[in-house]
Structure formats: structure tokens, C-alpha cells
Structure 1
Amino acid sequence: MDASSRAQSFGQTEINWNKLDKTKFYVVGAGIFTGLTVALYPVSLVKTRLQVASKDAVDRNAFSVIRGILRTDGIPGLYRGFGTVITGAVPARIIFLTALETTKVAALKLVEPLKLSEPTEAAIANGIAGMAASLCSQAVFVPIDVVSQRLMVQGYSGHATYNGGLDVVRKVLKLDGVQGLYRGFGLSVMTYSPSSAVWWASYGSSQRLIWRLLSQESEPEKYSPSQSTIVCVQAAGGILAAAAASCITTPLDTIKTRLQVMGHEKRHTIRQVVKTLVVDDGWIGLYRGLGPRFFSMSAWGTTMILAYEYLKRLCVKDE
């Protein structure tokens, strides 16, 4: 057994879409991902506040933002806009996972005739599936993103205050119409679709590379990874994928966030937003919130992939 074969044998075990109990998959999955959202939501809130902070804002790093929130609002302050997010997260997640799995199967069939290596095939198929899934879910996700981000930054650094998510929706519709709920849609597609593609492609390839390196250190016929080793390899793959995705897409995410939280009277173009960021902080300003975003993507990506693989094992149809 060569290193490539061992990497394939001991890598992530694929459970195809047609082997899953769909009802159980959606119901149990909704519960699992809701729990993950509860755990990681404060990181998204801190990242958003850092991205929209004005040049003269007192809170210029994650720790000062957290201290300020706890001082003024306590723990509930870390969950501003959470109700809106969780309401839209379930349908968006169902759309994402369905598109991901069905597209992955189709993409694998398309690349098979090319006779590429197994890691390359997995990277291409996963990347295509990740991009397609993100594109399909944006129609639900973007309005939720617009509303939740305005709630996250209300009263902060000069931003307006609201009486909950419905109040945000009413005011946005009154000033900008339905298109106001889709402000930043193009940038969201440009941010999340490549990010999703890079994440899934990087995860598939990096995980197989790690298996190859690990198996080279053991005798081929005796190498048998423990469950804890498998989990560690998956987690490491998730972190590497998050590093790649966050570095590539953070500038777009920063611009998108600023556009989405601006009031009607402060509306700027993409060019004006970029100019403001560069004037205030130089080109590094485009990477505001990179630390929290990397942490968020690493934590979310790693726990998500471990939970996702566990979910798929739970939901395999009885033969």
C-alpha cells in the first residue's frame, strides 16, 4: 500500500447523499447547527463591530470591544441580532447542505474521466460544491445578514438604534425598498462563494496531505489510526482551510459589512468605502477584523466539519 493509497484509505469517509435519511438529516442537523451558532455568535458580533468602527473609535481591538459590550449590556449584548440570525439560519442551512451534497456527487462524476489524483478530484469536486451551495443559500442569507449586522452595531460608533429585527426590516423597506434588504448582495456572492469554494477545496486536499505525512511515519501494513487521530486530522484540515479562506476573502467581507450597516443618509459606493478604509489605516484597513474572522472561521469550520461528519454517520439509512 503506497502513501497515496493509505491517505485515501484513512482520510475522511464519504457518506453519499443517497445513503442518508433526509428527514433525520434535516431535523438533527438543525439542532446541531443551532447549537454551534449559539456558541460562536459572539465572535461574529465582535468581528462585525471591528469592521465598522470609525477611525476615532475607542474600541480598536477584539478585547476592548468585548469589555465595552459586557460593561454596557452584559452577556446579552454579545447576542444582539441573534434571534434574526437563528430564524434565517435553518432554511439557509437546509438549502446549503442540500446543494452541497447533490453538487458534490455530480461534480465527482464530471471529473472522474479526467483521471486526476484522488486528492485533486476531491479538491475540485468539493470546491465546486462549496461555491454552488453558497450561491444557492445567499437569497435567504443576505437579508438576514443585513438585519442582524445592523442590530449588532446599533448605537455603536454612531450607528442607528432599532427595536428588534422587524423594526430594521420596516425601516429598510421604507427607505430603500426590497433592494435595501439585498444591499451588498453582489459582494456577499463574491465573498462567501469563493470563501466556501476555497474552504471546502482546502479542507479536502489538506486533510489528505496530512494523512499522507502521518502514514509515511508508520509501517504501511500496520498503520491504523485511532478515532482521536481521525478527529485531530479533520480539525487540522478545518483550521488550514479557514486560514486560506479568511486571508483571501476578508477585504471583501469588510467592505460588504460596511455597506450593509450604513444608513440611507450615509450611503457610499464600494469605491468610497475602500478609500475611507485606506485613508484611515492604509491597505491593512481592508483586513480589519481578520483575527476574529480567522478565529470564527477556524472555530466554526472545525466544529462544523466534525459535527457534519458525525451528523452524516447518525443519519445513514438502515440497510
Structure 2
Amino acid sequence: MESVPSQNVSLGQTEINWDKLDKTKFYVVGAGIFTGVTVALYPISLVKTRLQVASKDAVERTAFSVIRGILRTEGIPGLYRGFGTVIAGAIPARIIFLTALETTKVAAFRMVEPYTLSEPTKAAIANGIGGMIASLFSQAVFVPIDVVSQRLMVQGYSGHAQYNGGLDVARKILKSDGIRGLYRGFGLSVVTYSPSSAVWWASYGSSQRFIWELLGHGTRRDEPTPSQWSIVLVQAAGGIFAGATASCITTPLDTIKTRLQVMGHEKRPTARQVVKGLIKDDGWTGLYRGLGPRFFSMSAWGTSMILAYEYLKRVCAKDE
């Protein structure tokens, strides 16, 4: 697919189609790049998760208080609880996601091309379909990793159990709940991440087209290709806008999903009970616990990811 998926005809020189990539190099280099991005942004996910599962009487109810508490008791390593588990699962999940995303976007763009729709609308539809399908495929790998890593993130916090690493978490879940325990919240994960991915990619694709139109690009076929810095800035702006949109829409579902996944087997609340408990404790704003860190995480991760991804495709393009 394109390196700048939402640019007009005049930006065609910057596009790198899926069939023009060296797939082996793409996956190997990509694993390294996205591991680096995950290292940088993982603490934000940990803080967001702790805020979402905090009990009503928890002392640490803000992002800064959570960070201070972790650094005071555990130091920097405390910000990376569960990181090894996430990396072990994130690489195959990311490969599945990117492959499904790119191949689906190609088909979706072909599907909407004949219709008389605006360029931002076509980009939103094609990118949204690609993001949703990619998320659906990757959830089979991602959900068990999510369940294990989130329990490691919150162990010992606000009354949650202690574990001796990811294997201990998995063993105890399998013993108490069987394989179904590793997929607790799978339905909500699909309901949360698939729309979130669709919204993110749709917002990213359409916002880029809109920005280029505002800047006057794409109005003539003979106009010069924008500078690399211009392209990067527009991609970054698209990533920030996409993160803001997706986080605001999907945070309530993410909060419910996280609570379901970290509860011990002796509690087993339903999604309805989780919602009632959150509203009872904090009102409707309880559904938006961790919105700040999630907004920052999705914007920062999305922007970093998309810039790294576009760079990755340039690096892995086949020599003509």
C-alpha cells in the first residue's frame, strides 16, 4: 500500500505499494522498530491500566500519583511490569495486523474507487475497513497476551494478586478457568479494538487528505512533490488527530474490558456489573477512567507508529 495512504495523485511519487516491499526485510526490520516504540511508550499503558482498575478508596487516582508511587516503591523497572510478555506476543500480532491491514486496504481502495465520493471519504472508508479487519485477525494472538500482561501491570496494586512472572499468571488462569480464562474479555476486546482501529485508520486517512487539500496540494497533476518534512508533519498531524478521535470514542469500552480481564476467578463480574460499579463509584465519568493517559498513549503511539511504519516501508522498498 502507499507510504502516505491518504495523499492525492500529485503525491504519487511518495507511494510504496504492498507488492513493492521486500517482505522478509519488512518483517525483520519492523519487529525491531516497533519493539523500540513499545519500549518508549509502554509505561503510559501501564499507568492507564492501573487507573482503570483502581478501587474507590485507592490513594493513587491520578497519572502522576501512580507514577510517583511506582518509582518510589519499585523504581524504573516498575514501569515495565509485564513488558516481556507483551513483546513476546506483540511481534506475531503486529505481523498479522500489518499484513491484514495492507492487503485489505488495497482491496478496499479498489472497491470504493468507482464511486463519486470525495477523496477524504474514500480514504476514510478504505483505511477504516483495513484497520477493522486487521484488528479482528490480530485479536486471537493479542487477547491472551493482554490478559496476562495486564495482571502483571496491576499485581499488588489496589488489592490485586501477586505473581511470579507471565508463566505463573498463565498457569493460574488455566488452572482456574481453562483456556477460556486467557480469552476473558475477548468479545469486548473485539468490540473495543476493532472499532478503535477502524476509527483510528479512518481518521488518519481522511485527515491527511483534508490537510493536503487545505495546503493546496493535489489540485494539479504537474505540481512538485512536497518535501519529506512536509509529508512527515502531515502524517504526524494525522496520527494525533486519529488518536484523539479513537480514544474519546472507545475509552469506556476499554475501561470495562480491562476490569473484566484483571479480576480474579473468584469474582467473575459481568460487563453490566462492572458498568454499574463504575457509575456508582464515580458517576458516568467513571467510564472514562484513564482517558488522559489513553488519549496520550493512542496519540503518541499512533503518531510514533505511523511515522515508524512509513519510514519502514521506505527502507524496505525493493530496488527498481
Normalising by structure 1, we get a TM-score of: 0.94
Structure-2 residue corresponding to 1:179: 180
Retained in 2: the 8 A contact 1:11–1:208?
A: no
Please give the residue correspondences for 1:15-26 in structure 2 after superposition, counting only pairs within 5 Å. 15-26=16-27
Determine the C-alpha separation between the residues in 1 that align with 2:290 and 2:12. Answer: 33
Deviation track 1:84-122 (CA, whole Å, cap 9, x = no partner) reads 000001100000000001111111111122232322212
Alpha-carbon deviations, 1:45-87, whole Å to 9, x = none? 0000000000100001000000000000000000000000000
Given that 2:10 and 2:225 are in contact with CA atoms closer than 8 Å, whether structure 1 keeps it comes out as no
The 2-side partners of 1:6 and 1:313 are apart by 16
Residue of structure 1 in register with 2:231 after alignment: 230
Note the C-alpha offset of 1:267: 1.3
- In structure 2, distance between residues paired with 1:53 and 1:167: 23
> Which residue pairs with 1:55 in the alignment?
56
Residue 70 of structure 1 corresponds to 71
Aligned to 1:261: 262
Percent identity reads 83
Query: How far apart, CA to CA, are the structure 1 residues paired with 2:221 and 2:136?
Result: 42
Q: Residues 163 and 139 of structure 1: is their aligned pair in 2 closer, same or farther, counting only changes over 3 Å?
A: same
> Residue 13 of structure 1: CA displacement?
3.7
Deviation at 1:38, TM superposition (A): 0.4
Structure 2 unaligned residues grouped into runs of 5+: 1-5
Aligned to 1:87: 88
* Structure 1 residues 270-315: Cα deviation after superposition (integer angstroms, max 9, x where no partner): 0100000000000010000000000000000001000101101111
For the structure 1 residues 63 and 137, does the alpha-carbon distance in structure 2 shift closer, same or farther, using more than 3 Å as the test?
same
Work out the CA distance in 2 between the residues paired with 1:48 and 1:163. Answer: 19
Measured in 1, the distance between the counterparts of 2:19 and 2:119 equals: 21
* CA–CA separation in structure 2 for the residues paired with 1:7 and 1:235: 17
For residues 187 and 6 of structure 1, the distance between their equivalents in structure 2, rounded to whole angstroms, comes to 34
Q: Does 1:210 align with 2:211?
A: yes
Whole-Å separation in 2 of the counterparts to 1:162 and 1:287: 28
Runs of 4+ in 1 over 4 A off after TM superposition: 5-8, 218-224
Task: Quickly say closer, same or farther: Cα 1:211–1:54, change in 2 above 3 A.
Answer: same
Which residue number in structure 1 is paired with residue 131 of structure 2?
A: 130
Is 1:6–1:215's contact at 8 Å kept on the other side of the alignment? no
Tell me what 2:158 maps to.
157
Q: CA RMSD in A?
A: 1.9
CA–CA separation in structure 1 for the residues paired with 2:291 and 2:266: 28
Q: 1:207 to 1:143 in 2, by over 3 A?
A: same
SS in 2 for 1:113: coil
Residue number in structure 2 paired with 1:9? 10
Task: State the shift of 1:16 in Å.
Answer: 1.4
TM-superposed CA distance for 1:219, in Å, is 11
Equivalents in 2 of 1:252, 1:171: separation in Å? 26
Aligned length: 314
What does residue 3 of structure 2 align with? none
Residue 98 of structure 1 corresponds to 99
TM-score, normalised to structure 2, is 0.94
Partner of 2:319: 318
Deviation at 1:318, TM superposition (A): 1.5
> Does the Cα contact within 8 Å between 1:8 and 1:208 map onto a contact in 2?
no
- Which letter maps to 2:15? E
For 2:40 and 2:124, the matched residues in 1 are separated by 29
Task: Please give the per-residue CA displacement for 1:133-188, whole angstroms capped at 9, x wherever unaligned.
Answer: 00000000000000000000000000000000000000000000000000000000
- Report if aligned partners of 1:80, 1:152 keep a CA contact under 8 Å in 2: yes
Counterpart of 1:50, as a letter, is L
Q: Which residue of 2 aligns with 1:289?
A: 290
Question: What is the CA-CA distance between 1:211 and the residue it aligns to?
Answer: 1.2
Change (3 A) 1:112 1:223: closer
